[in-house]
Amino acid sequence: MQAEEINSFQIQEWYPKFKSVSIKTLIHQLPESFVEYLLDDSGLFLLPHSNEDALPRRIHKPEDEEDFILIEDSEEEEEHSALSFPDLELQVTNSINSLGGAVFPKLNWSAPKDSAWISSSRTLKCTSFSEVALLLRSSESLTHDLCHAYDSCTDKTSSRPSNFYLALRKWYPSLLPEMEFRCFVHGGVLNAISQREVTTFYPALLEKKAGIEILIKEFFADKVEKKFELKNYTFDVYVTKNDQVKLIDFNPWGFFTLPLMFEWMELEEDIKKDVNSFQFRIVMGRCGVRPGLSTAVPYDYLDTSSGSGWDQFMNNAKEEEMKLPRSFDEP
C-alpha cells in the first residue's frame, strides 16, 4: 500500500464527501504544540491548563505508589505555562456545544478506545476540552497515528502526516452496539460483512440479519461504491432503528484493521480462488463470542489453551447455551 492510499482513510479526507450519510462531525487542525504534548514520553502525566477547571490539574509519576499527587502552586504554574492551548480549547468548546454538548474524539485515523477506562463514564463521551485531552493523552493506540501511520507503505518517506486533525463526533447515548457492522470491499466488490461487536451474543440480531444485509448492500451500491476512490478497503456502518444506514468510518484492507468474524487469510484465499460467495457473519450463540477491545488484552496474547481462564469461560458459555430456548440455538 502507498502513502497516498493510507491518506485516503484520514477522516478529514473522506468525511466531506460522505457527511450527508455519516455522523455529524466537526474537524480542527491541531497546533504542533498540542501534538508534541501528546507525544511527550517524559513519564509525567499533565493535563493542559484550562479555563474550564472541569478536572483538577494533576501530575502522574509512575514511580510513586500513589497514582496522582498534587503539585505545589509554584511548580504547577511553571509546569503548566507551556501546557495551555486557549485557541484550540475555544474551538473544541464551541464544537462540543454545537454538537449537543457531548462528543467522542478521533485523530486522523484512530479513536482513543483503549483509554475509555479512565473516563468517569467508562466511554469516549466528552463534554469538555479537559476530557478530550485526558482521553487523547492516555491512549496508547493513538501511537499509530502519531508515529507509525506509514509503516506499511512501500513508498514511506515519513513516519507521520504533515498535519494532525482532531475530529469531534456527535455523541449518541442510545446507540446499540450490536447494530454496528464492518464491511469488506475488494476489487470494488462487497465481499463480506461482520458484526462489529464480537464480544457479545445478541439473540435479537438473528432475526434481523437478512434485512440488515439488504440495507447494507443497498447503501454500498447507492452511497459508497462509486464515491470512495480506492478498490480495496473496509467501512463501518450503523443501522438505525428506522432502518437508515449511517457511515462510521473507512479503514484499509488488511494491515492494522481487525477482520473481526473473519481472518484476513481466509478472505484473501477466497478472492484468489475467485470465490464470489458473499458472507455475512454475526455471533450465532454465546460460545461464538470472541475476545476484543473489552478484554483489554490483545487477541494474540490471550491464553486459550486447555484449562486456561478463557477456555473455562468458553466451556461455561457452551453449558449456558444448552439451556437457551431452541429458537436461540446456533443453526
Reading the chain (331 residues) residue by residue, the pLDDT tens digits are: 899 999 999 999 999 999 999 999 999 999 999 999 999 876 556 677 676 544 444 434 444 444 433 334 445 455 545 578 999 999 999 999 999 999 999 999 999 999 999 998 899 999 999 999 999 999 998 988 999 989 889 999 988 999 999 999 999 998 999 999 999 999 999 999 999 999 999 999 999 999 999 999 999 999 999 999 999 999 999 999 999 999 999 999 997 899 999 999 999 988 887 767 799 999 998 877 876 544 333 333 334 444 444 455 445 544 544 444 433 333 3
Please name each of the domains of the chain with its CATH number. 3-170 (no CATH), 174-283 (3.30.470), 286-331 (no CATH)
- Contact criterion met (CB below 8 Å) for 88 and 34: yes
Beta bridge partners of 182: 194, 236
Predicted local confidence at residue 271, as pLDDT: 84
Predicted local confidence at residue 83, as pLDDT: 79
Predicted local confidence at residue 301, as pLDDT: 34
Predicted local confidence at residue 141, as pLDDT: 87
Nearest by Cα to 109 from 13, 233, 33: 13
Q: Which amino acid is at 9?
A: F
Q: Which helix (H) or strand (E) holds 32?
A: helix 32-39
Q: Which three cell numbers stand for residue 228?
A: 470512495
Q: Which three cell numbers stand for residue 58?
A: 494533576
Cα–Cα dist 134/126, whole Å:
10
Predicted local confidence at residue 57, as pLDDT: 42
Cα–Cα dist 297/140, whole Å:
13
Cα–Cα dist 138/147, whole Å:
16
Predicted local confidence at residue 275, as pLDDT: 65
Predicted local confidence at residue 43, as pLDDT: 56
Cα–Cα dist 58/222, whole Å:
50
Task: Encode burial over 181-211: b for 16+ CB neighbours within 10 A, e otherwise.
Answer: bbbbbbeeebbbbbbbbbeebeeebbebeee
